[in-house]
Amino acid sequence: MIDVDIAFIGGSGLYKIPGFKHYKWTEIKSFFGKPSDSLCIGKLNNKNIAFLPRHGRNHNISPSNINYRANIECLKRINCKQVISLSAVGSLRKDYKPGDFVVIDQFIDKTYKRESSFFDKEIVAHIPFSEPVCHNLRKISIKTLKDLKLKYHNVGTYICIEGPQFSTLAESELYRSWGCDVIGMTNIPEAKLAREAGICYCSIAMVTDYDCWHPDHEKVTVEQIVNTLKDNSDKAFKFIDTITKLDEINCEKNVTDVLSNSIITDLSKVNKNTKKKLKYILLN
């Protein structure tokens, strides 16, 4: 298995990457069960790239049922050190319009059904998460969007709800009052697990609608989202192609070494089966 230079997790409307060369859909096993799909591993602009469709290639996995732990562990198994997430979101601001891209810098977690940590048995780890995304990946993502002359916003607070239902009007207005910029259903616990695994994570959100709060727009529908996604997907592919042409991206040491100061448990006293299950996650 080759090491990958960078991986992309594709959300709604993103199930493959055009321009891949010598690629292969590779099944990667995980200690945490079945991932969303096989990993598509191949060459793009002379870099080893991996791509994972978050909802599966047939979009048959609901946000709450995605096996986020398996997805992230599979990326760690191929020695992925950085991942860019692309996902559809609703806007909670008038100036964040459908078709715009948002480079996320903060999250609010309103999920409640999902496994949000690799360390649920025997080992206790408290990772720092005040700055949940990689500064270096954000920086080059912003540069790429600017070079492509795409409409983007370089900051955004993403509130992650459980779904699969969209928000009520009261909820949408509440999230706006909190200062949230966009709303989605998938970036948490994905970002938390990537941090635990020592993988640099960056989230690029693609606005498809105004949720349900905007008085001058129709309530959000799947048809509306799909229509906007078609245009956004083409832009996303240009983004992927352009960012993979850049020089090697340096990983942030505070991310890759995060567990060195986060595990409280004495690992010498942990059951060997537990350590075996976490062996890839515990690797720096």
Cα distance from N-terminal residue to C-terminal residue, the chain: 18
Is 209 a known active-site residue?
yes
Q: Out of 209, 241, 247, 257, pick the active-site residue.
A: 209
Is 211 a known active-site residue?
yes
Q: Which of 212, 244, 243 is nearest to 225 (CA)?
A: 212
CA torsion through residues 96, 100, 103, 106, sign: positive
- DSSP classification of residue 259: G
Q: Out of 211, 241, 257, 266, pick the active-site residue.
A: 211
Q: What are phi and psi of 77, to 5 degrees?
A: -65, -30
Taking the C-alpha atoms of residue 82 and residue 250, their distance in angstroms, rounded to an integer, is 9
User: At a CB cut-off of 8 Å and minimum separation 6, what does 199 contact?
Assistant: 72, 75, 76, 80, 81, 82, 83, 255
Q: Which of 252, 134, 263 is nearest to 204 (CA)?
A: 134
- 201: Cα separation from own chain's centroid: 7
Confirm if 206 and 232 have CB atoms less than 8 A apart.
yes
User: At a CB cut-off of 8 Å and minimum separation 6, what does 148 contact?
Assistant: 235, 238, 239, 242
Residues with a catalytic annotation lie at 209, 211
